[in-house]
Amino acid sequence: MARILILILFLIAFYIALWNQDWRLLFASLIGFTLIIILGIYEGSAMLVFGFTFADLIGRAKKKWHIALGMIAIALMFFIVIWFESGASYKLQSQALIPIMIIQLLFPMLIYYVEKSKKLQSELTVVNTQLVQQEERQRIARDLHDTIGHTLTMIKIKTELTSKLVDKDTMRVKDELNDILATTRTALKQVRELVSDMNFISLDSELILCKQHLQTADISIKIKNNCPKLLLASVEETMLSLCLREATTNIIKHSQAKKCQIAINVINGVLTFNIIDDGIGLQNQGHGNGLTSMKERMNALQGHAVINNLPTGGTIVTLTLPIQHYRKEPTT
């Protein structure tokens, strides 16, 4: 009956220690160690092996001093049982228990650091999630600036032109209004693409679109694409397209240019875009969100974006990207 009672108390103490990490864990563990002492005295020192049960649980305590008390209880448990079993003679059998005692003493510390590592890993995961969310917000902001901002700029320019022509050329006004309507539809399409995360932008189509927008702003454009059959990864093509869009938007909004030239070359495995205008340059212009976003996009591809003034006036935007030299399959 005494053995059954001790077993029941042991299971109750184990259950309490299993589901708590506060003072109840320490109290239940101390009861468990006490019961193991009783079993060790009357049933033999082999019962000390059950100390691993509470050594594991005490390592999950929230407070370090709870763990320290638990480790002291483990040491006392071993010394008391060994004393009652061997007395002053300190038999060889008792000496064999010393390694087990050392392991049990180290076990709570090991469990504590494992649990602490898991907690830190969990906190790191939360921080990483927050960083990913922040990067996603920044990406959305860049996409809004580079896509919707570009289209709205064209709507603004066309609206201003239409307001000047409303009393002079009715037919031209109708054409401009139709263009504004088409551009508005383009803006709606871009919003849908952003929402649905459809981010791929063809470089060829972007070159055509930029040419149209520059011509609408009365800026003559000359494109020299010396590698039209070059095959790029989707992310590379999209990033380059967005950088090209941003560069042309800056020319339309800030440069006061009359001419623009876009040259595309591949030199020693490096794709180079040069976007040149004959405007007022960067003397009175800061590096705003658009220029920063170009640099961030190119850096993400291990490339570079450099914006400089030309000695003869105007600005040159240079985009460089190391690439694999593949060519597109010919269409049949």
Residue 116: per-residue pLDDT: 84
Residue 195: per-residue pLDDT: 54
Report how far residue 104's alpha carbon sits from residue 41's, in angstroms, rounded to the nearest whole number.
19
Residue 223: per-residue pLDDT: 92
Residue 144: per-residue pLDDT: 66
Has residue 202 been placed in a domain?
no
- Please give the average pLDDT of every successive group of 10 residues along the chain, which has 332 residues: 85 87 87 87 82 85 86 87 69 67 85 84 74 66 68 77 74 77 73 57 87 87 87 81 88 87 90 91 61 81 88 89 64 46
Look at the chain and report how many structural domains it folds into: 2
Q: Which domain holds residue 29?
A: 2-128
Same domain, 7 and 108: yes
Same domain, 121 and 230: no
Which of 300, 209, 197 shows the shortest CA–CA distance to 247? 209
Has residue 10 been placed in a domain?
yes
Residue 198: per-residue pLDDT: 47
Whether 304 and 270 have beta carbons less than 8 Å apart is answered as no
Choose the final residue of a domain: 72, 99, 128.
Answer: 128
Report CA torsion sign: 79, 81, 87, 90: negative
Q: What are phi and psi of 182, to 5 degrees?
A: -65, -40
Has residue 103 been placed in a domain?
yes
Residue 320: per-residue pLDDT: 92
Tell me the CATH number at 291.
3.30.565.10
What pTM does this model have?
0.45
Choose the final residue of a domain: 74, 103, 128.
Answer: 128
